[in-house]
């Protein structure tokens, strides 16, 4: 009996890319209506296989089936992917009619920039995310007329395809890789070879079933393997473009190589990888807390909010808060920091599934011997007394672990907001996301100084009384670093993804949420009906709410809303 030898990893890449080269011809021939039908099929399959998706993610992350933390996997997995598919399908339908995706959009202004309202976009949004909003800021000089004319990107000429794209998938949030595939396929009109991160290999069977309609027409191929497979893929002659999610260090290893040779290449401006590269690479995200007069309930809620920004998904998020900027002169500073300690300590225990996490926590503990160890096993670090300097270790590199620092700056009011913007821009590595927490009365008192704070922050997503993760969950929002980075100084990456209205020349997304959850918000004059968000690490019904929202994302309908509201209100 002769045993058939399995094809080598390189052979698998060769075969996949040869099929994509042929598949590009078929993709070019599919009209917008046919593409929309394919997206709708993938959306239906997402709903059908959502439980399998979440089960695989829970297995990767060591989450018990009964844990409320399973809600994170529902929301950041099948829910956001299904919502993205629905929004892109609607965009293709508009383009098919010969209209612009922005014809019915609401435009505004922020300083000298034009803005586009991207949340809420429907009565469902107004109910499910009541009190939350988002706008995309266009780059300086882009008018509403130009934005309307260029929206649709490569789908304005669907038969004009742009070759083969390689996507190197992320290993943390399970929707990142398939969402990046959609953006390559639709926004850039490239067929796609997706190489999964080895951490997420258990997702291969379910993603293969969900993406089957796109695989069958030759538009997508799925690959697995380690760094050697990724290196072979991105350097292959059949690949025209590379998109990756990961760290700046990984990006530089791919683009420039490693060791002394890489340094020489960088100095000479001659990269090892010469084809175009886009990326989303995380960073050291700040959370700016503006001093104000807060109640005990406000302090407890916002402490849990910051703890969520750090501990969601175990801290393995590209936009996890890594340092809090507070006013040293805030009368309630000590009270807030005490509540933050408690929130970090009491958050549910979870497995440190991401490789190297324990080592990175140990390194931070060694660099900061006075760090406080919190959590069930002391695996979480709170580090006070951080110097606001780019040379400060905690601010110089993304930790990708449950480590949170505290930076104190002098002053209050406009003096503090100006100093906080400068610190966030100059002392923190990366530009992916920044959070601002401020009581409504404080925002009113600051007036134009608050507007200047938002405008001056050079980040791809700015979240006000919300976590920047809400921007990730909003399919019509753009997600990516602040524009202007290069492969030689990549920081948080180049380009954007998601952006389901296919808006051209995006500068940033600005998200706003309620300072207080309902019903307290209403009692204090905020018209917001949203209870504690299901992504909060202490939400007791997050798993059930997330499951219900994923079902809604795949198949929206009014009859689904009562169960979602009932579950969310018990959170």
pLDDT at res. 6:
54
- Confidence class of residue 8 from pLDDT cuts 50, 70 and 90? confident
Residues 359 and 310 in one domain: yes
Residue 492 is classified by DSSP as T
Given a cut of 50, whether residue 1 has pLDDT beyond it is no
Which three-class secondary structure string do you get for 81-110?
HHHHHHHHHHHHHHHHCCCCCCCCCCEEEE
- Residue 270: helix, strand or coil by DSSP? coil
Residue 216 host element (H or E):
helix 212-216
CA atoms of 172 and 317, how far apart (whole Å): 7
Q: Of 118-122, 152-156, 260-264, which gets the smallest average pLDDT?
A: 260-264
| Cα 560 versus chain centre, distance | 26
pLDDT at res. 9:
84
Q: Write down which residue in 467, 483, 515 finishes a domain.
A: 515
Of the CA atoms within 13 Å of residue 265, those in its CB half-sphere come to 18
Q: Of 118-122, 377-381, 506-510, 521-525, which gets the smallest average pLDDT?
A: 521-525
Mean pLDDT in the chain?
A: 96
Residues 206 and 291 in one domain: no
Given a cut of 80, whether residue 218 has pLDDT beyond it is yes
Q: Write down which residue in 515, 530, 558 finishes a domain.
A: 515
CA atoms of 311 and 69, how far apart (whole Å): 11
The enclosing domain of 341 has a CATH number of 3.40.309.10
Question: Model confidence over 252-271: pLDDT tens digits?
Answer: 999 999 988 998 999 999 99
In a domain, 455, yes or no: yes
CA atoms of 16 and 20, how far apart (whole Å): 6
In a domain, 251, yes or no: no
Residues 217 and 361 in one domain: no
CA atoms of 173 and 247, how far apart (whole Å): 14
Residues 203 and 338 in one domain: no
CA atoms of 232 and 242, how far apart (whole Å): 12
Helix axes 259-268, 248-256, angle to 10 degrees: 80
The enclosing domain of 192 has a CATH number of 3.40.605.10
Average the pLDDT over 344-362 and give the result.
96
The most distant pair of C-alpha atoms in the chain lies apart, rounded to whole Å, by 82
Residues 418 and 488 in one domain: yes
Residues 478 and 345 in one domain: yes
Residues 507 and 450 in one domain: yes
What is the DSSP secondary-structure string of 364-400? Answer: HHHH-TTPEEESTTS-EEEE-----STTSHHHHS---
Sign of CA dihedral 407, 330, 133, 485: negative
In a domain, 273, yes or no: no
- Confidence class of residue 7 from pLDDT cuts 50, 70 and 90? low
pLDDT at res. 497:
98
Average the pLDDT over 455-467 and give the result.
98
State the pairing for strand pair 285-289/277-280: unpaired
pLDDT at res. 3:
46
CA atoms of 519 and 517, how far apart (whole Å): 6
pLDDT at res. 103:
98
CA atoms of 244 and 177, how far apart (whole Å): 9
Residues 333 and 467 in one domain: yes
Residues 230 and 334 in one domain: no
Residues 71 and 163 in one domain: yes
CA atoms of 571 and 569, how far apart (whole Å): 5
Q: Read off the tokens for 56.
A: 């695989």
Q: Write down which residue in 216, 246, 276 finishes a domain.
A: 246
CA triple 440-499-453, angle to 5 deg: 30
Residues 465 and 401 in one domain: yes
Task: From residue 90, give the alpha-carbon distance in Å to each of 41, 462, 568.
Answer: 14, 26, 27
- Residue 245: helix, strand or coil by DSSP? strand
CA atoms of 492 and 508, how far apart (whole Å): 13
| Cα 27 versus chain centre, distance | 28
Average the pLDDT over 124-150 and give the result.
97
In a domain, 90, yes or no: yes
Structural domain of 407:
285-515
Of the CA atoms within 13 Å of residue 135, those in its CB half-sphere come to 18
Contacts of 98 (CB under 8 A, 6+ apart): none
Phi and psi, residue 5, nearest 5°: -75, 130
Residue with tokens 């009384």: 465
CA atoms of 77 and 557, how far apart (whole Å): 20
CA atoms of 234 and 250, how far apart (whole Å): 13
Contacts of 487 (CB under 8 A, 6+ apart): 251, 255, 256, 271, 277, 494
Total domain count, the chain: 2
Of the CA atoms within 13 Å of residue 484, those in its CB half-sphere come to 11
Sign of CA dihedral 264, 267, 272, 277: positive
CB 284 within 8 A of CB 430: yes
Average the pLDDT over 43-65 and give the result.
97
Task: From residue 50, give the alpha-carbon distance in Å to each of 43, 469, 534, 554.
Answer: 10, 21, 18, 9
Residues 456 and 396 in one domain: yes
| Pick from 517, 546, 516, 511: nearest CA to 532 | 517
The region that residue 273 occupies, defined by phi over 0 for left and psi between -120 and 50 for alpha, beta otherwise, is beta
In a domain, 496, yes or no: yes
Given a cut of 80, whether residue 5 has pLDDT beyond it is no
In a domain, 8, yes or no: no
State the pairing for strand pair 277-280/241-245: parallel
Residue with tokens 């004319």: 149
In a domain, 548, yes or no: no
- Residue 251: helix, strand or coil by DSSP? helix
- 317 burial via Cβ count (<10 Å: 0-12, 13-18, 19+): buried
- Residue 262: helix, strand or coil by DSSP? helix
In a domain, 466, yes or no: yes
Is this prediction's pTM over 0.75? yes
């Amino acid at each position: 009996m002769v045993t058939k030898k399995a094809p080598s990893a390189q052979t698998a890449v060769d075969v996949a890319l040869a099929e994509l080269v042929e598949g590009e011809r078929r993709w070019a021939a599919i009209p917008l209506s046919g593409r929309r039908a394919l997206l709708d099929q993938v959306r239906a399959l997402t709903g059908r296989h959502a439980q399998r998706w979440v089960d695989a993610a829970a297995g990767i992350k060591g989450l018990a089936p009964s844990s409320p933390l399973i809600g994170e996997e529902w929301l950041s997995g099948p829910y956001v992917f299904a919502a993205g598919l629905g929004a892109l399908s609607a965009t293709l339908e508009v383009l098919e009619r010969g209209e612009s995706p922005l014809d019915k959009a609401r435009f505004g202004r922020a300083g000298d920039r034009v803005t586009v309202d991207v949340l809420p976009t429907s009565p469902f949004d107004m109910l499910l995310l009541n009190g939350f909003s988002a706008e995309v800021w266009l780059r300086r000089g882009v008018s509403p007329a130009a934005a309307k004319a260029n929206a649709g990107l490569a789908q304005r000429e669907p038969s004009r395809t742009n070759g083969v794209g390689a996507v190197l998938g992320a290993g943390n949030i399970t929707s990142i890789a398939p969402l990046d595939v959609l953006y390559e396929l639709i926004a850039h009109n490239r067929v796609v070879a997706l190489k999964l991160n080895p951490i997420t290999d258990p997702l291969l069977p379910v993603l293969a079933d969900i993406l089957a309609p796109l695989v069958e027409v030759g538009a997508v191929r799925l690959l697995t393997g380690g760094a050697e497979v990724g290196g072979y893929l991105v350097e292959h002659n059949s690949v025209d473009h590379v998109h990756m999610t990961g760290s700046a260090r990984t990006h530089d290893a791919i683009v420039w190589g490693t060791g002394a040779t890489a340094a020489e290449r960088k100095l000479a401006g001659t990269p090892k990888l010469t084809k175009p590269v886009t990326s989303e690479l995380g960073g050291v995200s700040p959370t700016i807390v503006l001093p104000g007069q807060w109640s005990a309930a406000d302090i407890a809620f916002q402490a849990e909010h910051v703890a969520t920004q750090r501990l969601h998904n175990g801290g393995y998020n590209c936009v996890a808060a890594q340092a809090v900027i507070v006013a040293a002169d805030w009368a309630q500073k000590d009270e807030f920091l005490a509540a933050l300690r408690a929130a970090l300590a009491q958050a549910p225990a979870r497995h440190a599934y991401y490789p190297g996490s324990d080592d990175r926590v140990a390194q931070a503990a060694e660099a900061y011997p006075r760090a406080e160890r919190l959590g069930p096993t002391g695996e979480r670090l709170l580090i006070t007394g951080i110097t606001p300097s780019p040379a400060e270790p905690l601010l110089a590199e993304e930790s990708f672990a449950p480590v949170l620092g505290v930076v104190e700056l002098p002053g209050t009011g406009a003096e503090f907001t100006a100093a906080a913007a400068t610190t966030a821009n100059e002392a923190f590595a990366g530009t992916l996301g920044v959070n601002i927490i401020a009581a409504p009365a404080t925002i009113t008192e600051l007036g134009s100084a608050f507007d200047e704070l938002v405008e001056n922050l050079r980040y791809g997503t700015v979240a006000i009384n919300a976590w920047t993760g809400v921007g990730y969950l909003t399919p019509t929002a753009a997600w990516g670093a602040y524009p202007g980075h290069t492969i030689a100084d990549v920081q948080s990456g180049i380009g954007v993804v998601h952006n389901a209205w296919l808006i051209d020349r995006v500068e940033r997304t600005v998200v706003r949420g309620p300072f207080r959850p309902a019903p307290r918000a209403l009692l204090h004059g905020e018209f917001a009906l949203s209870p504690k968000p299901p992504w909060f690490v202490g939400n007791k019904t997050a798993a059930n709410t997330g499951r219900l929202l994923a079902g809604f994302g795949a198949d929206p309908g009014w009859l689904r809303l009562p169960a979602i509201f009932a579950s969310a209100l018990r959170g």
